[in-house]
Amino acid sequence: MDSNRKFAPLIKKLALTFTVAAVLINLLPGSANASTTPLTLGTASSYGVLAQSAVTSATPSGITGTAGSEIGVGGATAPTGSISPSGAVTLGGASISALTSAATALADNHSGATTGVELGVDRTFLPGAYSNGTFQITGNVILDGANDPNAVFVFRADSTLVTGISSTVTLVRGAQACNVFWQIGSSATLGTSSTMVGHVIAQASISTGAGSTVNGQLVAVTGAVTLGGTTIVNNSCATPAPVVTSTSGATPTSASTTSATATPLASSSATSVSSTAAPSATSTSVVHYATLHVVKVVVNKYQGTATASSFVIHVKHNGLEVADSPLTGVGTIGRPYTLPVGTYVLTETPTSGYRGVWSGPISSGGTITLGIGDNVTVTRTNYDIGVTARVAVPTPVASPTVTATHTPTTTGGKLPKTSTPWNLMLVLGGALVLVGGFGFGTRKVLVK
């Protein structure tokens, strides 16, 4: 009995320790699921938009991408509205097969190995599988690839996925949209001007708000996809070309022969990650990454109405688009890119009525070189082009032809009639004065 009392405090401490550890394991995103494997989408992976019933867009929506940019409809109803795909539109046949593959991916629960989480606002997640009854994003959710380009993220909702206005899902440290999966038990709603990444697979329907961006694809297994003016880019996974260096005393190992093994880190800042090098007692190769933020600013001084999401930015390395490129612009915080160190060229798809300039540590032509551990921000500012006021030169007006009006000339010897009673009186009075004067002068002579 005494021995039991002696060890009771120790047992309580151990129990408390294991309980706290269990709670922490469940609260630390990705800590127990770093080896999550990607879902198998089969032929469905090549579609930008895929739906069983209909694909519609009341306002202009565009679909581009290297992995596929097709609009697929399971039945015979063609997409309606204003949609501009860069690829083919398929009806029935291939689309039905793709929907079957998507349904299989939706049902894959990864043996239930998920961590229950709330997405919330401004949370960071490491690679892994996560689940909840519903998912709601109201701010910025960060997916941290921990410098592993093959990092996988799976989010499984029993019911719905709802993203708020201007909410974002951001990829950092090598995470790629092609390895992000959203399994939605019913419907997904993406808010106005929101940014979503990954394969969104919903059992029922999907709807999007105006100015929204999807770096991935939208698949409605049994319902419709209703676009509200959305840009969709479905890029295939890109293999980064990291710069590999060696520690002192080691022989440099080629990046093409080095197999990186990333270790999940708590910090989201760019960090060098040790990887397995060629057999050597002292050789350790290191993969170096940098972070680039691209901020979009739009100045509408005249009659322009464009916003940040109206512009599409390209980031290229050696002439090839990097992962998450091209994508629409993002204002304020900008769009982050986690890239191997090296030289990149940033361009923008021309937009009618606007001119743009780069600012920050970037050339006027859009070239930037990223070094080890860099975390830099560049800004692309676009100005609407006002209509140059032209001085109106009046069209010469011919002087009107004036027809001279001549007063008729009196012909013959007859003068115009100008006599009046007053004229007669004046003439008569003058005559009387003369006669009187003459008579007075005559009288004066006679008197003398």
What CATH number is given to the structural domain containing 291? 2.60.40.10
- Which amino acid is located at 445 in the chain? V
Q: Which helix (H) or strand (E) holds 4?
A: helix 2-27
Residues for the chain: how many in total?
A: 448
| 160 Cβ contact list (under 8 Å, min separation 6) | 134, 135, 184, 185, 186, 187, 188, 189
Instruction: Quick: pLDDT tens for 207-217.
Output: 999 999 999 99
Domain assignment of residue 436, yes or no: no
Predicted confidence at residue 12, as pLDDT, reads 58
Q: Which of 191, 209, 233 is the last residue of a domain?
A: 233
* Backbone dihedral angles phi then psi of residue 352, each to the nearest 5 degrees: -60, 135
Predicted confidence at residue 288, as pLDDT, reads 76
- Supply 399's token pair: 């002087």
Domain check: are 41 and 166 in the same one? yes
Average pLDDT over residues 327-349: 87
Domain assignment of residue 50, yes or no: yes
Rounded to two decimals, what is the model's pTM?
A: 0.57
The structural domain count of the chain equals 2
- Residue bearing tokens 């009187």: 436
Share of the chain above pLDDT 90, in %: 39
As separate numbers, helices (DSSP H) first and strands (DSSP E) second, the chain gives 3, 31
Q: Which helix (H) or strand (E) holds 156?
A: strand 153-157
How many alpha carbons lie under 13 Å from residue 94 in its C-beta half-sphere?
12
Q: Decide if pLDDT at 336 tops 80.
A: yes
Domain check: are 162 and 307 in the same one? no
Q: How far apart are CA 189 and CA 164, in angstroms?
A: 9
Domain check: are 208 and 108 in the same one? yes
Q: Decide if pLDDT at 436 tops 70.
A: no
Q: Which helix (H) or strand (E) holds 42?
A: none
Domain check: are 213 and 314 in the same one? no
Domain check: are 46 and 174 in the same one? yes
Predicted confidence at residue 262, as pLDDT, reads 32
5 — pLDDT class (breaks 50, 70, 90): low
Domain check: are 185 and 309 in the same one? no
User: Is the CB of residue 174 less than 8 Å from the CB of residue 338?
Assistant: yes
Instruction: Quick: pLDDT tens for 146-165.
Output: 888 899 999 999 999 999 99
Domain assignment of residue 13, yes or no: no
Q: Mean pLDDT score of the chain, rounded to an integer? A: 75
Q: Decide if pLDDT at 126 tops 90.
A: yes
Q: Which of 369, 386, 403 is the last residue of a domain?
A: 386
Domain check: are 198 and 337 in the same one? no
Instruction: Quick: pLDDT tens for 269-312.
Output: 333 333 333 444 444 445 577 889 899 999 998 989 999 889 99
The answer to which of 55-59, 130-134, 170-174, 387-391 has the lowest mean pLDDT is 387-391
Instruction: Quick: pLDDT tens for 407-430.
Output: 443 334 443 444 445 555 655 666
Average pLDDT over residues 58-77: 84
Share of the chain above pLDDT 70, in %: 66
Domain assignment of residue 238, yes or no: no
Range of the domain at 372: 285-386
Predicted confidence at residue 76, as pLDDT, reads 66
| 340 Cβ contact list (under 8 Å, min separation 6) | 240, 241, 242, 243, 287, 288, 289, 290
Domain assignment of residue 162, yes or no: yes
**Is the torsion defined by CA of 39, 42, 43, 46 positive or negative?**
positive
User: Is the CB of residue 268 less than 8 Å from the CB of residue 142?
Assistant: yes
Domain assignment of residue 356, yes or no: yes
Q: Higher model confidence: residue 212 or residue 403?
A: 212
Q: How far apart are CA 211 and CA 343, in angstroms?
A: 31
Domain check: are 218 and 323 in the same one? no
Instruction: Quick: pLDDT tens for 89-111.
Output: 888 888 999 999 999 999 998 75
Predicted confidence at residue 88, as pLDDT, reads 83
Domain check: are 55 and 190 in the same one? yes
- Supply 145's token pair: 């690839």
Q: Decide if pLDDT at 24 tops 60.
A: no
